[in-house]
Structure 1
Amino acid sequence: MRGGVELTDCPAQVSADFGGDTVADTADTRTPAQIEADIERRRAVLAETLDEIGVRVHPKTIMGDAKARVVSNVDHTLGRAYVRVNGVVSEVKGQFVDAEGSPRLERVVPVAVLLVGVVGLLAVGSRRRGGSARRRR
């Protein structure tokens, strides 16, 4: 039907055309009490639907949904980062520890010497800068 509403879940077929002044009624055999009960039932359904819409469009609901999506995305990203970091740590550990869990001295010693050298250079450099700053005062 064009521009109208057709109610098909009623015991009798009722059709209405809201485009003009006429309403077509095809043998409605319901009693006034049945019609009133139908109207009340439809009002209750409509009120429930409007309440649901009100909850969905409420700013707190929208913000809560947005926060939940952000938290989910952050959790997902952090989970992936954790897995990646764990893989890198395992890879590095595999370079310095053999299958039995013993350290590979041929790899640990050169790295340790290198680290001690870098720390020593940083210490010497900071002393030089610290000493020249004291002399300027």
Structure 2
Amino acid sequence: MARVGEASSTDKSARTTAQIEADISRTRTQLAATLDELAVRVHPTTISAQVKAKAVAAVEEKAGRAYVAASGLVEQARAQFVDEKGQPRKERIVPAALVGVGLVLLVASARKRRKG
């Protein structure tokens, strides 16, 4: 049994010059690959692409949420003018249509006054 501080036959001091050179070469290759990867990560093009991808994802998420909310509102509005069988509710459609026509006439008359 080897004592502390003594070299054994499997210790690194027993390696050959070729083994040491191979280790150095392997370490250089690994270091070069690591440096290349770091260079790509900090390159302005890479950073801007990552920022752009995050922004696009955030916008798409917000748009998806807005679409779901708008769909819910449309469905609620539709439910006000259509009964459970899908038939139009004339008692609600006619007053809403009259209000719409009144607004159009009001806007048209306001424009006519400005021009004239």
| Fold equivalence (TM over 0.5) | yes
Alignment map for 1:77-116 (pairs within 5 Å): 77-116=62-101
Deviates more, 1:111-120 or 1:57-66: 111-120
* Higher RCO structure (Cα 8 Å, ≥6 apart): 1
Q: 1:57 aligns with which of 42, 53, 67?
A: 42
SS in structure 1 opposite 2:14? coil
CA distance in structure 1 between the aligned counterparts of 2:49 and 2:114, rounded to whole angstroms: 54
Could you say which structure has the higher helix fraction? Answer: 2
**CA distance in structure 1 between the partners assigned to 2:43 and 2:61 by the alignment:** 27
In the other structure, the counterpart of 1:30 is 15
Q: Which residue of 1 aligns with 2:4?
A: none
* Residue equivalent to 1:12: 11
Structure-2 residue corresponding to 1:18: none
Instruction: Output the amino acid matched with 1:39.
Output: I
Deviations 1:17-37 (A, max 9, x none): xxxxxxxxxxx0000000100
User: 1:69 — aligned with what?
Assistant: 54
Task: Tell me, in whole angstroms, the C-alpha distance in 2 between the residues paired with 1:59 and 1:12.
Answer: 46
* AA of the residue aligned to 1:12: D
Amino acid in structure 1 at the alignment position of 2:43: H
The percent of aligned pairs where both chains have the same amino acid is: 51
Point out where structure 2 has 5 or more consecutive residues left out of the alignment: 1-9
Larger CA deviation: 31-40 vs 114-123: 114-123
User: What is residue 3 of structure 2 aligned with on the other side?
Assistant: none
Structure with greater strand percent: 1
- Report the residue type matching 2:11 in the other structure: A
Give the TM-score taking structure 1 as reference length: 0.74
Relative to the length of structure 2, the TM-score reads 0.86
Aligned length: 107
Residue 98 of structure 1 aligns to a residue whose secondary structure is coil
